[in-house]
Amino acid sequence: MTHDYDDIIHLPHHVSKRHPQMSIEARAAQFAPFSALTGYSSALRETARLTNEQISLDENSIEELNRQIILLQQFKSEKKHLVSITYFQLDKKKKGGSYQLAEGKLKKIDESRQHILLDDGTCIAFQTIMEIEIKNQDT
């Protein structure tokens, strides 16, 4: 009984003299899964990422923050005090944001623009501040 490929079935495998053989990794990459929806997985991750709403402070908390800012003004010239500020940072891509903690030495309080500038360049708007803690660097 003869088959269609009996004449070539026992011939040696052809190896090109002109083109180098492809590596196993490169051959495997040809059969890697194809992502027809480019960027879909990153869009899913972005959608799943959670953000928080900014908490509104009551009158007493606002007064306490104002007292802390006045204290910071007084301590600004002293180099031994560090400040720790918890503030709300808006998310650039979604509604809401997250609370951040900035620590450093006070560089400037700009009352006209309503923000605090730390020595590392962090600029924090008054209305985003949740808590201020003044620390003595010696302790």
Q: Record the tokens describing residue 113, joined without a space.
A: 């623009």
pLDDT at 44: 86
Distance CA 106, CA 122 (A): 10
Per residue of the chain (139 residues), give pLDDT as tens: 788 988 888 899 888 999 998 899 988 888 877 767 778 888 888 888 888 899 999 999 999 999 988 888 877 666 667 899 999 999 988 898 999 999 998 888 888 899 999 989 999 999 999 999 988 766 5
* Structural domain count of the chain: 1
Q: What are the CA-CA distances from residue 93 to residues 35, 37, 41, 102, 128 (Å)?
A: 24, 21, 16, 22, 18
pLDDT at 78: 66
Nearest to 77 by CA among 107, 121, 104: 107
Q: Look at residue 124 and tell me if it is in a domain.
A: yes
Q: Look at residue 103 and tell me if it is in a domain.
A: yes
Q: Look at residue 7 and tell me if it is in a domain.
A: no
Q: Look at residue 8 and tell me if it is in a domain.
A: no
Q: Look at residue 9 and tell me if it is in a domain.
A: no
Q: Look at residue 2 and tell me if it is in a domain.
A: no
- Whether pTM > 0.85 for this model: the answer is no
Range of the domain at 31: 14-139
Q: Look at residue 75 and tell me if it is in a domain.
A: yes
pLDDT at 62: 92
pLDDT at 77: 65
pLDDT at 138: 60
Q: Look at residue 76 and tell me if it is in a domain.
A: yes
Which alpha helices (H) appear in the chain, and where do they start and end?
24-30, 40-48, 59-75
pLDDT at 100: 94
Distance CA 109, CA 106 (A): 8
pLDDT at 97: 92
